[in-house]
Amino acid sequence: MGQTITQKILAAHCGRAEVEPGELINAKIDLALGNDITAPIAIEEFEKIGAADVFDRTKIALVPDHSTPNKDIKSAQLVKRMREFARKHDIVNFFEIGQMGIEHTLIPDKGLVAPGDLVIGADSHTCTYGAVGAFSSGVGSTDLAAAMALGEVWLKVPEAIKFVYFGKLQKWVSGKDLILHTIGRIGVDGALYSTMEFAGETIRELPIAGRFTMCNMAIEAGGKNGIMEPDEKTLEYVKQRAMRPCRVYESDPDAVYKEVIEIDCRELDPQVSFPHLPENAKPISQVGEIRIDQAVIGSCTNGRIEDLREAASVLRGRKVHRDVRLIIIPGTQEIYLQAVREGLAEDFVRAGAAFSTPTCGPCLGGHMGVLADGERAVATTNRNFVGRMGHVKSEVYLSNPAVAAASAVLGRIASPEELE
């Protein structure tokens, strides 16, 4: 019986020829990741178990990004804890302020993850790296602590659902719209503890940035991991960055899936997910008149240079509506620099936007754009739960960068087609 790409990666990392869904395995990891919210807890547990040292100082990444630059004393103390741990154990990949970025954009761009890897991170959106053909999944801080000490993780092999996308995308439709539509179709628990394997001609035509966006939000459907088979676009991205040799896996033709879902993309419109669940997705044509107070473009879901270019193409020569605050956050320092080089930063500022240093910031209601009672935001982030971006009586609507930019100009959730 054939194996999926996820099964092959997991089998290789536990010294087996194959594994089956439902099996419990111990697997060796290629990278363990923590941020300024989760790593301090993992460090405390690491020290409680009496570990003398980390298993490999090159295979741990610590990225302060959630509340950085430090928003208050508590966040400063958390990053200090990470910094001291990194120094004590000589951890190579600690990304200080000025070098850091939003972790799930930074890690692949730095070449720390590659096809065939097994990556865990104490952050649910670690599933992002499936875009380059790696098995990557979020874990708890105690699992991270054990992994930092032992270089292994305990997990159950997930079942797999295959999503096959076909048809050419219309203008202004992107990976964000594919994943919002998919979550809207299956629900926030539709892929619970399952591999979401994304395939088909539409995926093959999708740029790498859009692939990262899709895999990033696998967790929003309950997925254990999102993954795509590497192709020429993947390898072109990886070969410029990878810090070590990689191994490309593909699913066997006779691999077993618990379900195969086909999605026709030819007539798909830009999507907007209404509060308070990502599954509440509607085409932009059905949104109606929804005034907004804030628009956020960025996050680990849509903070890549391609996302900023898309937003700038809508904003260039226009002004943000007087009743709207537009906040734009690039995913890394290098993306920030690229936006400056290309003139995108000037486009944003001239339009009336705030252009920020990389941070998770408003996505989790941390800083740099927290919402007040009754305020509404449209955001390119990944979650719109109650109180996610601030007050419990605020609302967050999820969209792609073009929709967010057009909405910022028009003062209501709108399609970029309205500005053409």
Q: pLDDT tens digits for 12-26? A: 999 999 999 999 999
In tens, the pLDDT along 340-364 reads 999 999 999 999 999 999 999 999 9
pLDDT in tens, 56-70: 999 999 999 999 899
The pLDDT of residue 118 is: 98
pLDDT at 244: 82
User: Quick one: which of 266, 284, 268, 301 has its CA closest to 406?
Assistant: 284
pLDDT tens for residues 186-205?
999 999 999 999 999 999 99
- Provide the pLDDT for residue 243: 79
Percent of the chain whose predicted confidence (pLDDT) is above 90: 95
- pLDDT one-digit tens code per residue, 359-399: 999 999 999 999 999 999 999 999 999 999 999 999 999 99
Has residue 105 got a pLDDT over 90?
Answer: yes
Residues in CB range of 352: below 8 A, 6 or more apart: 319, 320, 326
- Return d(Cα 406, Cα 116) in angstroms, integer: 39
Q: Give the whole-angstrom CA distance, residue 200 versus residue 178.
A: 12
Query: 1 pLDDT band (50/70/90 cuts)?
Result: confident
User: Is it the case that residue 420 has pLDDT exceeding 90?
Assistant: no
Joined together, the tokens standing for residue 63 give: 């990225």
Q: How confident is the model at residue 242 (pLDDT cuts 50, 70, 90)?
A: confident
pLDDT of residue 316: 96
Predicted confidence at residue 254, as pLDDT, reads 96
Domains and CATH numbers, the chain: 5-262 (3.30.499.10), 271-419 (3.30.499.10)
pLDDT digits (tens, 9 = 90+) for 247-274: 999 999 999 999 999 999 999 999 999 9
Would you say the pTM of this structure is higher than 0.85?
yes
* Confidence category of residue 313, pLDDT binned at 50, 70, 90: very high
pLDDT in tens, 114-124: 999 999 999 99
Rounded CA separation 58/114 (Å):
15
Q: Is the pLDDT of residue 306 over 90?
A: yes
Q: How confident is the model at residue 286 (pLDDT cuts 50, 70, 90)?
A: very high
Kindly report the average pLDDT of the chain as a whole number. Answer: 96
